[in-house]
Amino acid sequence: MPFIQIYLGDHLTEKNKTDISSAVHNSLVAVFKIPVDDYFHVIHTLPPGSIRYPASYMNVPHSHQQVYIRITARDGRTVAMKKELYQQIAAGIAASTPVPASDVFIVLVETAAENWSFGNGLAQMVP
């Protein structure tokens, strides 16, 4: 049930977008143990100049390949799981696209189960 928002430059191809989305999803399935069909992603393609970043932050270099990933998920995962997720996502994206792991910026936002509706106006995850 994570909801994924991916922000990236319009220089990346449709295949790159698919590969980035797949890397995020496959990592969530492997690490957070979400169901395979729990796939809700929105990709925001932005024109040049719309993505701003420092050349380096916290000793991590950044380039024009910068990709921002926001994961909104139910709370309850351990710090170790989150660290493993970040590693797998960055490695998966770097392995399948021109985006280096150093340009994969991830934010995880956790919410309670009652804050989700998957349609029909119902809160399916709460009794």
Choose between 127 and 47: higher pLDDT.
47
Angle at 123 (CA atoms; ends 120, 127), nearest 5 degrees: 130
* 47 labelled catalytic: no
Amino acid 73: pLDDT: 97
Q: Which of 2, 47, 48, 127 is catalytic?
A: 2
d(CA 119, CA 37): 15
The closest alpha carbon to 27, from 47, 10, 4, belongs to 4
pLDDT tens per residue across span 29-83: 999 999 999 999 999 999 989 999 999 999 999 999 999 999 999 999 999 999 9
d(CA 86, CA 18): 18
Amino acid 1: pLDDT: 82
DSSP letter string, the chain: --EEEEEEETTS-HHHHHHHHHHHHHHIIIII---TT--EEEEEEE-TTS----SEETTEE--TT-EEEEEEEES---HHHHHHHHHHHHHHHHHHSS--GGGEEEEEEEE-GGG---STT--TT--
pLDDT tens per residue across span 75-126: 999 999 999 999 999 999 999 999 999 999 999 999 999 999 999 999 998 9
Domains and CATH numbers, the chain: 3-60+75-115 (3.30.429.10)
- C-beta of residue 15 within 8 angstroms of C-beta of residue 99: no
